[in-house]
Amino acid sequence: MASATQLISTSVDAGSNSTDALTEAKLLTLGQTCYTNGSDPSIFMVKPADAQILAGFAASSGRNREIQQTKSLVNAIDLYVSPFGEYRCVLNRHQLTTHAFLIDPVMFKSTVLRPFSRKLLSVTGDSDKHQIIYEGSLKHSNFADSGMITGLS
């Protein structure tokens, strides 16, 4: 029973100090490492502050973007296509701010250690107090399948 960061063995360190920003080179390095390990990750999960950096990837020279006749301004990346696969970019406000994850969701499963049960604790007048009991965990089928970038600012 461990967190997702403990279930992923493939990682790329952002740098010697923890104030390094996310870069496209780090994402490509992690993608190559995961690909070499035989993985096929499809989700790149970042904190909301890194969404601005991801949007900046599209502004790099030589990039193509389809612009239709519309009155909308789009400054976001939904899908990042690299030589090692296509990654859907997902924001996660609940993840560690020092990490970015490249995951294959097929390899993660929810396991039940003790199923839901209800236990009567006490009766006060016409009121019954119950306890709901459940134990579960996150299971990762292959620790080398997904990857993470650590040490981000």
pLDDT digits (tens, 9 = 90+) for 49-106: 998 898 888 776 556 666 666 666 677 788 999 999 999 999 999 999 999 999 999 9
Q: How many domains does the chain have?
A: 1
Whole-model pTM? 0.81
Expressed in angstroms, the distance from the first to the final Cα of the chain is: 28
* 112 belongs to a structural domain: no
* 95 belongs to a structural domain: yes
* 123 belongs to a structural domain: no
* 134 belongs to a structural domain: no
* 75 belongs to a structural domain: yes
Give me the domain span that covers residue 80.
Answer: 4-105+143-150
Compute the half-sphere exposure of residue 68: CA atoms within 13 Å on the CB side of its CA: 2
